[in-house]
Structure 1
Amino acid sequence: MAKWGEGDPRWIVEERPDATNVNNWHWTEKNASPWSQERIKELFNNLSVKSDLANLEINGVEKCEGEACANNRKGKLIFFYEWDIILNWSGILNGGTDLKHSGTIKIPNLSEENDMSDLDIQITLKDPDEEGQILKDIMYKEGRNIVREQLSKYVTSLKQEFSKGMILPKKDEVKPDTIKTLASGFNKKINMTPVVSENKQVGLKIDTTTITQEHKFQCTAEEFYNAMTRIELVTAFTRGHVKLDPVKGGIFELFGGNISGKFQELIPNEKIVQLWRYKQWPEGHYSTVTLQINQKSDHTEVKLQQTGVPKGEADVTRVNWDRYYWDAIKQAFGFGAFLGAI
């Protein structure tokens, strides 16, 4: 079996006459959030729910919060979407009092991680009475299937619409009139908020602790090191504006400035040491993060040691390392054959 990085054509950067994303090597991304919100509103605008027992309708979207994007990594399309949706519904029971009842349909987690058949769909009734309860039951039985059908249409159209122009032709396939400029802004905003310390006075004595973690990544040591030190790759997994100067004494800011610090030591493909802090930690207080990178025969092992973490922040800091660094890196770059800490 070939060693990591040898004999694999994905590691070969091919020249292209338009000098754009050679061999589809670089990460590109399209923001699909505004389009998605409009598409979801369109799919649920005055939508009839067929029933012999009642006249029911999904009136429209009350809330649609979240984000969606399409990504191209090494010629592979990856779609991310996560939505919290509330729909309004109303209905009149046939043969009843002709009183119109109404309620909501809540979809709290529409995402690529959940199969449509397992989607959580909650039906609520505004003014409970006997007729209203019958209408709610009908909506629960018939309406949820329609909601799933419409959301399936959204996902299908998302992939169709945002596949266009994401995979660029190789050099022999490029024609001058087909070259387009691709935007690659990473617009997903991550709210990485720890437990807030009430007292931020400078000079306040802080009880601290040390966090240690070990993780495995299906990549080379060089790939992992690059993911932590190259601005376009850090932007890719954090999905937000990044400031990054990966030299000794260079500063960094991630997650909208919630995380900031300074590089203290950099040994390519082996070690990264940073002064590192949350924005809401006491002013002027930094921890020290040391990442030891050890490439094995078929994966890379990373050991994290973080000293000087305020004790009250330790648990949330551990969770945020897992969620916003390790899981995000595995998902963004396909390094996730090994999930979770040892």
Structure 2
Amino acid sequence: MASAIPAPLAPSTANWHWKNKTVTPWAKQWFERELTSVRVSGEGTEEVGVEHVEEVEGDVELGQRKSKLITIYDCKVVLNWSGTASDGTAVSGKLTVPEVSHEITLDGTSDFVYEWSLTTARTPAVDALFQLAKKQLPAALEAKFNAFPAAIVDTHGKDLTVSADPSRQGSPAPAASAPAPAAKSDAALKKKADGAGVAKSGGQAVNTTTLSVDAQFMASADDLFGLLSDEKRIPQWTRAPATGSPQAGSEYSMFGGGVKGKFVSLSPPKEFVQTWALSSPTWPSDHFATLTTTLDQGSDSTKVTWSLKGVPLGMEEEITRNLQGY
């Protein structure tokens, strides 16, 4: 008698069981690509950034249990940093981050630890650049670390989740219940060009585009509105200082100054609008985009849409990563 071929499990059943995927090699490449794009500037000609990722030690996995995707990682990251002092001296050193983990990034059980060393002979100008690195690089690095869980889910979630739609190979399920929006979202990235988007920066025309990200959260619109706009609550998910009162005309900063602007209007709990600029050498000086955050309350969840209008052409990939992390 021929043996019967078991019928495939229904998606709802298949996604309930524990599945696991090791993504450590991919994670190392992600750190090497993303962290070496980190660069900050001081006054005058001072500039410092990550030159090379020397070591990523640890394991990175994506698990699925009860239809939820869970990031599991604990890594030690060793970086070589370099920069140019105010007197033109080339400065270099090493930075070790002993723990980049789900517990720190998403659960907030502790703060990141940074172990710095300087290899260049010390002078006043060198010391000034060293202080700039220690003051500004952590916030820029943590913006990348905060984007890491979402990148894991976006890249590998489809390999673990069985879709009910036969035309699709799979789609990421919501991540485990963590406070950071980047890890909980099933982000659907949508990108479109303005066509006629032109802004002025320093007297120069800047051709721009609009980027949009939306995500579904198992939380009320009221709670999410406060989580995304209140300076006292923003650090719960950015793991970095934030300033600014959620009032029209009030200036704000996030990610330790990595993002800044002004609140334009607020209509709680449905929408708020901000000007938005990235503190980065690649962002045009004095140029601000406009970020509109819309919250659509459903019966058991809230859809949040971030629409950023005025992104300089050529920066779509970099700002997309920032939005996904945001």
Q: Place the TM-score, normalised by the shorter chain, in its bin.
A: 0.3 to 0.5
Higher share of residues assigned strand: 2
